Chains A and B, each alone.
Chain A
Amino acid sequence: MIRVVLPYHLRTLAKVGNEVALDVRGAVTQRAVLDALEAAYPMLRGTIRDHTTRERRAFIRFFACQQDLSHESPDARLPDDVAAGKEPLLVIGAIAGG
């Protein structure tokens, strides 16, 4: 199972705890994980990436294994420890403002 940690406001929206577990078929990429997340929690559609373009929203970041993966291709494989369920993919609301 793939582990995903959501920011506070998306956890309340989806009515889930700190972490969700997802069954991802095939290669474990950002796109595959987000597709599985939105299938399981459709109320999150449009909150992490655009409905139409599927691009990451500007103030959302993806971290895992001490790396910022936000600018990686959505079809690049996530780190092995994420694919193995040892580490979570962190969806972060960027700190902005003062």
Chain B
Amino acid sequence: MSKVRVLVGTRKGAFVLEADGQRKKWNVSGPHFAGWEVYHVKGSPAHPERLFASQTSGWFGQIIQRSDDGGKTWHQPGTPPGEPQKPPSGISKGESNKFAYDASPETGKPLTTHQWYDGSQRPWEFKRVWHLEPSLGDPNTVYAGVEDAALFRSTDGGENWKELSGLRGHGTGPRWQPGGGGLCLHTIIEDPKNPKRIFVAISSAGAFRTDDAGTTWKPVNRGLRSDYIPDPNAEIGHCVHRIALHPSRPNVLFMQKHWDVLRSDDAGDSWKEVSGNLPSDFGFVIDVNSNEPETIYVVPIKSDSEHFPPDGKLRVYRSRSGGNEWEGLTKGLPQRDCYVNVLRDAMAVDSLDKCGVYFGTTGGQVYVSADAGDTWEPIVRDLPPVLSVEVQTLQ
């Protein structure tokens, strides 16, 4: 029988929530890495028992954790279970949290500064890993989106990381500037039909695409309009919050931008707004029903100044037409006095029939709908603020 494993990152640790395919009775484990911020936890599609977690702290910096048994035990890659204290090779280990920007004379020399909030230039400085994206096909390959924005890749299960510096180096890097949450690369999507194509998104630079497995990149922001930048139609500078696609149609992308919900039918070459009748088109999350490629979900947030649901009502909005026409989904969600936020990495879908939809809030609730959004119930109510939610569908 199928089962699901929900991976939750919070301000104070990670949690693993498991249930069978009915998605009614849940087993909760955690907190893992208690007291640390866990920005993201995600499983490998190629080896579902392998999970990666981004553990971070303002005091102690970045840690990468890996589990090879579905979250029961964890270790920092390179310091495997059973030999954490007296490694025979000593100093050669412990590189799994080293994210060094490419500063080589050949490829990294021009990549020195980005724009700061006040318009001045500032050196790139690694702060944390926002998002870990395990490769679709290789359990040892995983991508990391970091702040200050850059893309790293490990091909040895997270033991060592190398920057794909063509992204920062493609030409617009010095004009990227941080959004309210920092200059972060938060979205990484491999094209399931074209292994050389990857999409990423950066706040607040925009969306980018490579068609040569990460060597060269180009902005894919045509059609985005952002009135908060000097040229609203600029090539870069857009605060993209999240992009999602359905694996059967990787040329069709859906985007939740700072303001506006958009879609692209040509792999990001052009975008059109599909906000339609949403009560607010500001928000962070967006996802696609695993069984219906034209069914998408967002959680409207009142505004960029007031990060909570309109009217104190927590509503997921669903479009069955790929945008423009939206219906509010409220059954089981609080419809009064609710002032939580749903952050950009905090929604996921499983691949069961019916599609399960999951999201976490800054109030510590993780909600599930086992019927594609028609009804909702909380799996847990009182976690620390939720930063990310992912789900694995397991046989």
**A45-B57 in contact (CB<8A):** no
A40-B90, A51-B98 as given contacts; A46 in contact with B84, CB under 8 Å = no
Interface string of A48-90 (1 = CB under 8 A from B): 1001100001011000000000000000000000000000000
A38, A42, A48, A93: most-surrounded residue (chain B CB, <10 A):
A42
Q: Does A94 contact B (CB under 8 A)?
A: yes
Q: Return A24 CB to nearest CB of chain B, in Å.
A: 14
Q: Are B85 and A45 in contact (CB under 8 A)?
A: no
How far is A46 from B63 in the complex, measured between Cα atoms in Å? Answer: 9
Q: How far is the CA of A35 from the CA of B76 in the complex (A)?
A: 19
Interface flags, B67-103, vs A, CB<8A=1, else 0:
0000000001011000011110011111101101000
A14 to B84, CA, bound (A): 7
Interface of B is mostly: loop
Is residue A21 contacting chain B, with contact meaning CB distance below 8 A?
A: no
Residues of chain A contacted by B85 (CB below 8 angstroms): 14-16, 40-41
* Cα(A76)–Cα(B332), bound, Å: 63
Q: How far is the CA of A9 from the CA of B61 in the complex (A)?
A: 11
Q: Are A47 and B61 in contact (CB under 8 A)?
A: yes
B87 and A9: CB pair below 8 A? no
Q: Does A39 contact B (CB under 8 A)?
A: yes
How far, in whole Å, are A41 and B63 apart by their CA atoms in the complex?
14
Contacts of B58 in A (CB 8 A): 59, 96
Of B59, B92, B97, which one neighbours A46 at CB under 8 angstroms?
B97
- Let me know if B62 is at the binding interface, CB within 8 A: yes
Shortest beta-carbon distance from A70 to chain B in Å:
13
- Measured CA separation A47–B64 after assembly (Å): 12
Q: CB-nearest residue of chain B relative to A94?
A: B59
B38-69 Cβ-contact flags toward A at 8 Å (1 or 0): 00000000000000000001111111000000
Partner of B84, one of A43, A59, A94, A96: A43
A1 at the interface (CB under 8 A from B): no
Find out whether the CB atom of A42 lies under 8 angstroms from the CB atom of B93: yes
Interface residues of B in 138-189 (CB under 8 A from A): none
Among A16, A35, A39, A40, residue most surrounded by chain B Cβ atoms (within 10 Å): A39
Q: How far is the CA of A95 from the CA of B84 in the complex (A)?
A: 28
- Determine if B100 and A52 form an interchain contact, defined as CB atoms under 8 angstroms apart: yes
Measured between beta carbons, the chain B residues less than 8 angstroms from A96 are: 58
Contact across chains for A43 and B76 when beta carbons are under 8 A apart: yes
Q: Which of A2-28 contact B (CB under 8 A)?
A: 7-10, 12-16
Contact among B57, B62, B93 for A9, CB-based, below 8 A: B57
Which residues 86-132 of B have a CB within 8 angstroms of A? 86-87, 90-95, 97-98, 100
Complex: how many Å from CA A7 to CA B86? 20
Q: Is B35 an interface residue (CB 8 A)?
A: yes
Report Cα–Cα, A10/B57, bound state, in Å.
Answer: 11
CA distance A7 to B58 in the complex (A): 14
> Is there an interface contact between A39 and B90, defined as CB atoms closer than 8 Å?
yes
Distance (whole angstroms) from the CB of B240 to the closest CB of chain A: 30
Q: Does B208 contact A (CB under 8 A)?
A: no
B199 interface residue per 8 A CB criterion: no
Given contacts A9-B36, A41-B85, A46-B98, contact A59 B59 (CB under 8 A): yes
Measured between beta carbons, the chain A residues less than 8 angstroms from B93 are 42-43, 45
CB-CB contacts below 8 Å: B331-352 with A:
none
In the complex, what residues of A have CB within 8 A of residue B95's CB?
45, 51
Query: Do B35 and A9 touch (CB < 8 A)?
Result: yes
Q: A9-B59, A14-B85, A46-B97 are in contact. List 8 more A-B contacts (CB 8 A).
A: A8-B35, A9-B60, A15-B84, A42-B94, A45-B94, A46-B98, A52-B100, A59-B58
Instruction: Sample 23 A-B pairs with CB under 8 A, ordered by A number.
Output: A8-B35, A9-B36, A9-B59, A9-B60, A10-B60, A12-B34, A13-B63, A13-B76, A14-B85, A35-B91, A38-B94, A40-B90, A41-B85, A42-B90, A42-B91, A43-B93, A45-B94, A48-B60, A52-B100, A57-B59, A60-B60, A93-B59, A94-B59
Chain B residues within CB distance 8 Å of chain A: 34-36, 57-63, 76, 78-79, 84-87, 90-95, 97-98, 100
- Across chains A and B, which 3 residue pairs bring their CB atoms closest together, nearest first? A42-B94, A45-B94, A42-B93
